[in-house]
Structure formats: structure tokens, C-alpha cells
Amino acid sequence: MRLAGRVAVVTGASRGIGNATARRLAACGTTVVCVGRDEPALQRLAAEINGSVVTADLTDPSSAKDIVAHSLAAHGQLDIVVANAGVGYTGDFSQMPANRISELVDVNVRAPILLARASIEALRAPSQFSSGGGGAIVFVSSIAGAVGVPGESVYSASKAAIEAFATVLREELRRDRIAVSTVLPGVVDTDFLRIRGVPYNRRFPRPMPPERLARVIVEVIENGNERRIEPRWLGLPARFAATAPNLYRVLARRFS
């Protein structure tokens, strides 16, 4: 996909991965609809990259249609959706508050699914690039969705759900030439680490800057990759967990 002249929605754009991705897309000539809760931060970002803003609470089921409606009204089209917004939780599952479980499911699973559904007709619509429509949906998942991380059971399950959903949706939309991709990052140095419940104190793997992941997301959109794990070496434990889960768990407990 050529990015110049496209219109993209990026959720969680107030900071972190979403902010870096919006900037990266804008540098490629894409108009970005910046979505998030922090309106002042979104307005600053939009002013810097010549984008627009939708202040939305993604736990509200109506927000998905509002986001798409804004993109069409303000920019006349929608070509790319980056479903990046997410929340985490680390700690003893038996002590996890019920409202936090609901929040993780709402933000990490229901919200991106509803946004994808709301976007499909706009992505199918004819555009200056193709009379037959087409576009891209990228779900920012997590390596936790591939291997499962003890102490992050609900978060891992929410990301695994998105992986499963994306796999099936990709087949459903193939004839529409809508690429459906997932990006599974390892540890990223954002506020996400500081508000998940437990500080990240591991010396390895070291958190990567969000700009690195933003570059990967843009590459995935350009190339139409179905799935990308970053850093790439994490693909090895992901494959191991899928093909030899019992042995993987033994080794994971041994080497943390």
C-alpha cells in the first residue's frame, strides 16, 4: 500500500505507540485521525501532524461508529485502521478487581472488534486509489497473546482473542482486498508499563522505544504482512509455545 494521500485512524494516539505511529504515518503523507481520551494531548499531536481529533471512550460501544463517521465527514475516506489502544494488568488473578477484568475485555477485545466492523464498509468503498476499495486493518496485539504470561492471565487472554479474531477476519475480507494484520510487540517503553499494576524490573528483554514499533506497524501496512512479532527473536518462543506447550512451560518456569 502506498501511504501518501491515505486516511488512517489510530486509537490510543494520546501517547506511546499510538502517538509514535500517528507521527510515522503522517511523515509518509497519511492524514491521521487521532483517537484517544486525552483531548489536550490529541489536539497538540493533530496540530503538529495536520491531522484531526476524536476524543472517545472506547468502552462505549457507540464510539466505533462515531470514529468512522468523523473520518468520512472530515476527510472523505478511510483507508487504514490501527487498533492500538489497550490496557493491562499484572498481579494475582484472585485479587484482580472485577471492574478491571471488564475494562481489559472492553478495551482490548470488544473495542477493536467493533471498530473493525464499523470500518469495513468505508474500507470497501471506491477511492482515488481503487474503484474496488480495499485498505488495511492492523491490530496491535502482544507477545503475551502468543505465549501467555503468568501474572497477566486476563491480558494474555484478551490478546489471544484478538489474534484468533484477526485470523478469521482476514479470510472473510480477502475478496475485498482489505488486509488484516496483527503486530505482536514484546516490552515497549511506554506508560503502559508503569500503570499495569507491577513495575517492570527485568533486565532482559529491555523495553524498546515506541518509535521502533511504530516503524514496524507502518512497514506492515505498506507490505501487507499478516503477522509480525517484534523483536523478531521472540518469534522463536512463540513457535515453541505453539508446538510444544508443555515443554515450553517447563523451560519458561526455569528461565523466567
- 65 labelled catalytic: no
- In 3D space, the residue among 142, 150, 8, 141 whose CA is nearest the CA of residue 71 turns out to be 8
Active site residue 155: yes
Catalytic residue among 155, 158, 181, 248: 155
Catalytic residue among 63, 142, 156, 181: 142
Q: 227-230 and 80-83 as β-strands: parallel, antiparallel, unpaired?
A: unpaired
In the chain, the largest separation of any two C-alpha atoms, in whole Å, equals 55
Q: Which of 89, 127, 159, 248 does the annotation list as catalytic? A: 159
The answer to whether the beta carbons of residues 122 and 71 sit under 8 Å apart is: yes
CA dist., res. 165 & res. 63, Å (int): 20
Q: Which residues contact 81 (CB under 8 A, 6 or more apart)?
A: 8, 9, 115, 116, 119, 123, 135, 136, 137, 138
Residue 142 designated active-site? yes
10 strand-pairing partners: 34, 82
- 181 DSSP β-pair partners: 138
Neighbouring C-alpha atoms within 13 Å toward the C-beta of 111: 32
How many other C-beta atoms can be found within 10 angstroms of the C-beta atom of residue 186? 19
- The residues annotated with a catalytic role in the active site are 142, 155, 159
